[in-house]
Chain A
């Protein structure tokens, strides 16, 4: 056994390139998967713990003004806990920052409140007494430089009050909190949240108007509880939102599943390629040990000990590679991915945690490698020692397929004929070469295509569809004076009402944005064939992705429920719009009113004026550039992962191509040596090798092109966020770049392998063979 170990060590040292290739493939495959898994698994675990520690509600019931009696009646029901609070949007003026305004979601907390509690990060515990101050969002406080004991001035409908900051907190309801429909990425400097006691609220607002009831079911069915609460609230009832639809939960779920799908789809192709290549490498490596196997058998070693000895090759290299990957992934890949996730999600702490799947993956890779070694060894073990101790006879030549078509066959020079014959002789090696090129192209196209799809979709939305300069977010009430001031200060304006809504057809529902548009030409639409279409007063446009999700076609009618209200509308779909964002439906003001809606603008789109920030009805003014920037920040979170995957794909392609080049060289070593003796120049032999490589490259690219486009479409369709349709496409220049990367890798690697021709020792190579 000792000598077997020494032999293994020396064999690895002698064939270190092949072993290194297998090691790297195992390492890369596991590192990519475990790195991504570390983040999504950790995020899933920490967020769930966070929900538990803060005792997040199961659902939220919204009401206009629930009375004390209603709350008492609800509390007397059994099977659940319920807590009412008042939640309003207030603004804060920072005198130290030139009077800049920021916006806070204020929520009251009753004495002993236990649902959706906050976690105190700094300062004092919550106190329900009057004048007890405010407990402020930690991220908001950090972004604005506010510390415990500082004072903040809050304003609500003309009433102002100064609060002392008692503590800095984090709330699980605000893991993902943007504060505005125009913001996709949290802007902590502008939007935050805070908690005050009911007594403080009464002093500030003059009265307590409960409009949110948090419910935690303990035994009863949530739907039944909801029905009971609805019955008690009567006309005061507005809407119910379940936990899975709350952004704090749904965004985490989406991001976790996005990363999961992204890693799994990518890893599937990646690992498949790596396993194929590992199998070939290991089995060819063992093939070269054929004479040694014969010799060891002749010395009296039994088949089992030899089988174990060769299986150990696969075990050592794949296990060290796989485990190194499991170590490198969380150390290198996870922090890079996590850094980006921190830009959108706020958690009390972050954790990288891999699951057993990472180790199961290492197990699969090890088993594949060990089996390929054992199977390869088995071929030689079956032979009697006298046969296996002699060098293997090269595979006999075979007629290639083309030879059966003489007029075609005769077109080719003898060098090409030779190459075709070699391909038909070494089908597996060639097939793996083709799969390696096609697979590499697929992965790289997925990477670059992703980038193009995001950037083209963003370009469409912000440079074609949305033709305005500013989007003005309006306060609830807009006076006629303010409205005319906005119209007068811009060359063109368009009033728009946006509501979150549920769209439902035959029981299949999806959340989206209902956009009601007044007259003006600042929003442009195209149908799915990219023909220009005009929104008319006779029906709605639905975005393509939403239409596909709920199975809507032109001419269908759908039910629209504006979230947070009891308003339901029946709308007829007049066309399907290409618009990638926002996902939802668009109707004209006239059509909305004709189906029973009341138009109350929430935003004004303006072009050719100033930002109108000084007009009192304008809550906030954002430029189209800021909106695009927001979207780009969101996209960056995906792009970082994509860049990582592209890098891994390029590395994998290089390893596969180099490895196959080496295998091909080893297999044809004797032929090349004969050519050298016959008087072929080194360049002529290298040209022959490069031609074969080129053929594999061309076939791989031809096969990989449709596969990569199809993979890109599927990949983007699965990975994209619900609110934005990234339209799968890859620009010609990017595709050429992808193909170029593969070609350059392949040619450089082929040139590097063909340099080995120089090192062929003719005398040694031609010594003995049967």
Chain B
């Protein structure tokens, strides 16, 4: 059984006269330690899929099993516990808390975990050791995104969910960020799932999932994924 298993998952939103299916009976599997890329155009359901796996939203029907737990049956309290212990989220627009310094943003998340990775160590790994006392507004976009990744990683979660992590960055900075994410999946054995509409990173994925109109159009496993630096 795969670490993450989605079976016939549907997410519908009511419209004035009908239901709109953002996800329409999706089934897929994702393994631990894999760098998974979900590709698709706008409106294909990528972010919705990520939100469902992350316990930020609830599916209309179907099963989502993570590490043997049925996510769709969890109460709000248990969903929070699930996010707290198992999920690290990286947002397109970083969502760092403007009032906390770079270090404090990471440290506050590490305190939520029973088995955290040292905040300074993670920030150092991200190349932010000289930015510890800076506020988010004093960091560049790439630095903010790396701080956001450090925040997700320091909780030592089993799954890293990244929603368009390079969407607000220039190509070089974006590749730098992706490179960090790819190495995290290997170094820390995390299931790293990156949602993007940038097809150029497809060769770097262990598993590539393509979505269209709320359905899985293609799943492709790369036996020998390329490094991010190789494809840029």
The reply on A296 being an interface residue by CB < 8 A is no
Q: Given A414-B111, A674-B97, A677-B54, A396 and B135 touching (CB < 8 A)?
A: yes
Residues of chain B within 8 A (CB-CB) of A675 are 97
Q: Contacts A763-B51, A770-B93; is A680 near B112 (CB within 8 Å)?
A: yes
Asked if B89 contacts A678 (CB within 8 A), the reply is: yes
Complex Cα distance, B168 from A770, in Å, reads: 9
Task: Check: A676 CB closer than 8 A to any chain B CB.
Answer: yes
Counting CB contacts under 8 A, is A120 at the interface?
no
Sorting the interface of chain A by its residue count into under 10, 10 to 19, 20 to 34 or 35 or more gives 20 to 34
Tell me whether A421 is interfacial, beta carbon within 8 Å. Answer: yes
Given A396-B137, A768-B93, the answer on whether A679 and B100 have CB atoms closer than 8 Å is no
Query: Is A2 in contact with chain B by the CB < 8 A criterion?
Result: no
Residues of chain A with a CB closer than 8 A to B104's CB? 414, 417-418
On whether the beta carbons of B108 and A414 are closer than 8 Å, the reply is yes
Pairwise interchain contact B80-A682, C-beta atoms closer than 8 A: yes
A418 lies within 8 A of B99 (CB): yes
Q: Is A395 an interface position by the 8 A CB rule?
A: yes
A394 in contact with B84 (CB, 8 Å):
no
Among A396, A676, A678, contact of B98 (Cβ-Cβ < 8 Å)? A396
Nearest-Cβ distance from residue A422 to partner chain B, whole angstroms: 5
A681 to B78, CA, bound (A): 10
Mask, A700-714, CB within 8 Å of B = 1, is 000000000000000
Closest to B96 in A: A674
Least distance between B94 CB and chain A CB atoms (Å): 9
Q: Mark A666-691, 1 if CB is under 8 A from B, else 0.
A: 00001100111111111000000000
- Is A298 in contact with chain B by the CB < 8 A criterion? no
Least Cβ–Cβ distance between B140 and chain A, in angstroms: 14
- Whether A394 pairs with B98 at a CB distance below 8 angstroms is yes
Evaluate whether A397 and B137 lie within 8 angstroms (CB atoms) in the complex, with A678-B84, A763-B51 already known: yes
Q: Which residues of A contact B57 (CB under 8 A)?
A: 762-763
- Give chain A residues whose Cβ lies under 8 Å from the Cβ of B83: 676-679
Decide if B99 touches A680 in the complex (CB within 8 Å). no
Of chain B, the residue at the smallest CB distance from A391 is B93
Q: How far is the CB of B107 from chain A (nearest CB, A)?
A: 6
**A107 at interface by CB-CB < 8 Å:** no
Question: If A396-B135, A677-B54, A678-B151 touch, does A671 touch B80 (CB 8 Å cutoff)?
Answer: no
Per-residue CB contact flags for chain A residues 367-408 toward chain B (1 = under 8 Å, else 0) read 000000000000000000000000001111110000000000
Chain A positions within 8 Å of B135 at CB level:
396-398
Q: Is there contact, CB below 8 Å, between A679 and B81?
A: yes
> Of the candidates A393, A425, A682, A763, which one forms a contact with B99 in the assembled complex, judged by CB atoms under 8 Å apart?
A425
Query: For the complex, what is the distance from the CA of A67 to the CA of B108, rounded to whole Å?
Result: 100
| Shortest Cβ gap from B56 to chain A (Å) | 5
* Size of the chain B interface, CB-CB below 8 angstroms: 35
List of B residues within 8 angstroms of A679 by Cβ: 80-81, 83-85, 87, 112, 155
**B81-138: which residues lie under 8 A (CB-CB) from chain A?**
81, 83-85, 87, 89, 91-93, 95, 97-101, 104, 107-109, 111-112, 135-138
Give min CB distance, A618 to chain B, whole Å. 79
The answer to whether A421 touches B99 (Cβ under 8 A) is yes
> Is A718 part of the binding interface, using a Cβ–Cβ cutoff of 8 Å?
no
Q: With an 8 A cutoff between CB atoms, is A769 at the interface?
A: yes
The chain A residue sitting closest to B107, CB to CB, is A414
State in angstroms the CA–CA spacing of A485 and B3 once bound together: 109
Residues of A within 8 A of B138 (CB): 396
A768 proximity list for chain B (CB < 8 A): 92-93
Determine which residue in A422, A682, A763 has the highest number of CB atoms from chain B within 10 A of its CB, and name it. Answer: A763
Interface 0/1 of A325-353, CB less than 8 Å to B: 00000000000000000000000000000
Secondary structure class of chain A's binding surface, majority of residues:
helix
Q: Considering the chains assembled together, what is the distance between the CA atoms of A768 and B93 in angstroms?
A: 7
Residue from A421, A678, A763 whose CB has the most chain B CB atoms within 10 Å: A678
Q: CA separation between A421 and B101, bound complex, in Å?
A: 10
CB distance from B103 to the nearest CB of A (A): 10
A677 vs B152: C-alpha distance when bound (angstroms): 10
Q: Which residue of B lies closest to A396 (CB)?
A: B137
- Nearest chain A CB to B52's CB is how many angstroms away? 10
Task: Please determine whether B77 and A681 come into contact, CB atoms closer than 8 angstroms.
Answer: yes
- B83 shortest CB reach to chain A, Å: 4
B112:A671 contact, CB within 8 angstroms: no
Q: Is A75 an interface residue (CB 8 A)?
A: no
Among A398, A681, A766, point to the contact of B95 (Cβ < 8 A): A766
Q: Which residues of A contact B136 (CB under 8 A)?
A: 396-397
Minimum Cβ distance to chain B for residue A582 (Å): 62
**B98 near A677: Cβ-Cβ < 8 Å:** no
Q: A422 CA to B51 CA in the complex, in Å?
A: 29
A105 smallest CB distance to B (angstroms): 75
In the complex, which residue of chain A has the Cβ closest to the Cβ of B137? A396
Complex CA gap A425/B85 in Å reads 31
- Complex Cα–Cα for A676 and B95 (A): 12
Residue of A nearest to B101 (CB): A397
CB proximity to A under 8 Å, residues B144-162:
151, 155
- Is A670 touching B95 in the complex (CB atoms < 8 A)? yes
Evaluate contact between A677 and B56: CB separation under 8 angstroms: yes
Residues of A within 8 Å of B112, CB to CB, are 678-680
Measured CB to CB, the nearest residue on chain A to B80 is A681
Q: Which residues of B are found within 8 Å of A417, using beta-carbon distances?
A: 100, 104
Q: How far is the CB of A665 from chain B (nearest CB, A)?
A: 15
A-chain residues with CB within 8 Å of residue B85 when the two chains form the complex: 679
Contacts of A425 in B (CB 8 A): 98-99
- Report the Cα distance A417→B136, complex, angstroms: 16
Contact yes or no, B100 A769, CB < 8 A: no
Chain B residues whose C-beta falls within 8 Å of the C-beta of A678 in the assembled complex: 83-84, 89, 108-109, 112, 151, 155
* Closest chain B residue, CB of each to CB of A678: B109
Q: Which residue of A lies closest to B84 (CB)?
A: A679
Contact A422 B99 (CB under 8 A): yes
Q: Is B93 touching A671 in the complex (CB atoms < 8 A)?
A: no
For B151, what are the chain A residues with a Cβ–Cβ distance below 8 Å? 678
Interface residues of A in 695-749 (CB under 8 A from B): none
Q: What chain B residues lie within 8 Å of A394 (beta carbons)?
A: 98
In the complex, which of the residues A394, A676, A679, A769 has the most CB atoms of chain B within 10 Å of its own CB atom?
A: A679
Report the minimal beta-carbon distance from B193 to chain A, rounded to whole angstroms.
15
Which residues in window 640-688 of A have CB below 8 A to B? 670-671, 674-682
In the bound complex, what is the Cα–Cα distance between A414 and B104 (angstroms)?
7
B38-57 to A contact mask, C-beta < 8 Å, 1/0: 00000000010001001011
Write out, one digit per residue, whether chain A residues 404-436 have a CB within 8 A of any chain B CB (1) or not (0).
000000000010011001100100000000000
Task: Given A414-B107, A678-B112, A681-B80, verify A766-B91 contact (CB < 8 Å).
Answer: yes
Closest CB-CB distance, A284 to chain B, in whole Å? 17
Report how far A362 CA is from B107 CA in the complex, Å: 52
A contacts, CB < 8 Å to B: 393-398, 414, 417-418, 421-422, 425, 670-671, 674-682, 762-763, 766, 768-770
Knowing that A414-B100, A414-B111, A763-B47 touch, tell me 5 more A-B residue pairs with CB under 8 angstroms: A396-B136, A421-B100, A674-B95, A678-B83, A679-B155
Nearest 7 CB-CB pairs, A to B?
A679-B84, A396-B137, A397-B135, A421-B99, A679-B83, A397-B99, A674-B95
Question: Can you pick out 26 interface pairs between chain A and chain B where the beta carbons lie within 8 Å of each other?
Answer: A393-B137, A395-B98, A396-B135, A397-B101, A397-B135, A397-B136, A417-B104, A418-B97, A418-B100, A418-B104, A418-B108, A421-B100, A671-B97, A675-B97, A677-B83, A677-B95, A678-B83, A678-B109, A678-B155, A679-B80, A679-B84, A680-B84, A681-B80, A762-B56, A766-B91, A768-B92
